[in-house]
Chain A
Amino acid sequence: MKYIFVLGVTALLFVSCRKEASTTPGTDPVDSLNQTILYMGSFVNGPWGSVSGQARVLRSSNGTLSLALVNVNISNGPDLYVYLSKEIQPINFISLGKLRSTSGNQVYDIPGTPDFTQYKYALIHCQQYNHLFGSATLVQ
């Protein structure tokens, strides 16, 4: 019985622990000369966290799109993701992946060519608990 109990406790710990984003500031280049800023916006806090800094949609010389988080500072949390969203709450969205760092400069590839008149929000979202940490409205 002792071993069953130990296994059960271990299983619960396994479920409850989720890795948070790194606190080491990101150092991705966001001001390269061969990149054009298409849209940008400043982050405002969501109901569950705090996010400051800027979001920029960049187009490189070869046409690929990316979202740059510039000088961001994000309160840490579990399972944070970066989204491009049609709504300020992530109802219809494109996931750009897990947030790599809670501060600094970071660049995330944007798949395809989304219509930015529809996908006009950059979001920092805690996926596991469905909590919005912050949003930026992207304008030209």
Chain B
Amino acid sequence: MKWTSIILVAFISTSVPAQEVKELPRTNRFADFTATIGASQQTLAASYVYNWRVGKKRKFELGLGVRNTAYFGVKKDFWTAPADVARGSSVPFIVVVSEQKTENWDTLTVQRPFTNSLNLSANFGYHISRKLYAGFNIDLIGFTVGRTGSAIFTSNGTTRTEPEAKPVPFNLLLTGDLDLGSLNSEFFLYYHLNKLWSVKGVYQFMFVEYKTTNVKQVAPDGTVVDRFRNKANNGGIGVAYHF
């Protein structure tokens, strides 16, 4: 009986026609346009993303992209940026959870900030279902150009005009307040309308940095600071075209 069962199972398994396995493509390439809005600030971003699908069911994606982000606002406060002045630790990753030394923070209120950043981005995502795709992306390295304009510098109750505040030109992800320049990141959820188009909702967290030309902060330890950061929290929507 035992042998009969084995032979029967072997026969069935060889005689059943091969199942048609519909695999997801190995890559996901798309162009993406996103608009976000927050408190007196907005961004418009355009990116091209090349993701590889990984995992047994190819539900995970990771890849690289190129993103251009335009940030503009009105009367935005930028705070002391260098981690060794602004935070309790300047060790990569630990800086993220280290204490904020708010007593060392001075404020640069940029009247009409406008930056345009071109960055290489890292992208991670997971296909929740056939229609839904969620994930995270973050800028890694790039350059920023933007408007030089006036700002009000406030330090320990004194107020000065900085007529030539300008965007920090070089962007680099180093984790937390160690970051340099203007870096965009998004938590996103895509909804696929069809094979070519999808729409998305995003929560955006963006660092934008301006540097002063004439007015400098002198920290308690004597460090001269000319770099100030705005951390923008925005919500937005977007659309993507899949190639």
Contacts and interface: CB of A to CB of B under 8 A. Distances in A.
A4 B34 CA distance: 8
B158 A92 contact: yes
SS class, residues of chain B in contact with chain A: strand
How big is the B interface, by class? 20 to 34
B80 to A, nearest CB: 20
A87 to B, nearest CB: 9
Interface size grouping (class) on chain A: 20 to 34
Interface stretch (A24-32, A36-44, A48-56, A127-135): A127-135
B75 interface: yes
Interface in A63-86: 79
Interface in B28-82: 33, 35, 37, 42, 44, 72-75
Chain A CB within 10 Å, residue with most, of B74, B149, B163: B74
Interface in B131-172: 149-150, 152, 158-161, 163
A127 B149 CA distance: 11
B112 interface: yes
Contact of B73 (A15, A79, A90): A15
Given A8-B44, A14-B42, A15-B73, A93 B237 contact: no
Contacts of B152: 95, 127
Nearest to B34: A4
Contacts of A130: 111, 149-150, 161, 163
A91 interface: yes
A29 to B, nearest CB: 28
B147 to A, nearest CB: 12
A50 B42 CA distance: 34
A3 B237 CA distance: 10
A94 B159 contact: yes
A15 B159 contact: no
A89 B150 CA distance: 13
Nearest to A125: B161
Contacts of A93: 159-161
Given A18-B74, A93-B160, A129 B44 contact: no
A10 B159 CA distance: 33
Interface in B184-243: 237-239
A95 B33 CA distance: 41
A129 B150 contact: yes
A33 interface: no
A92 B215 CA distance: 11
B35 A11 contact: yes
Nearest first, the 3 closest Cβ-Cβ pairs linking A and B are A130-B150, A11-B42, A128-B111
Interface of B: 33, 35, 37, 42, 44, 72-75, 111-112, 149-150, 152, 158-161, 163, 237-239
Given A11-B35, A92-B160, A127-B152, 19 more contacts: A3-B237, A4-B237, A4-B238, A7-B237, A8-B44, A11-B72, A14-B42, A18-B74, A89-B161, A93-B160, A93-B161, A94-B159, A127-B75, A128-B75, A128-B111, A129-B150, A130-B111, A130-B149, A130-B161
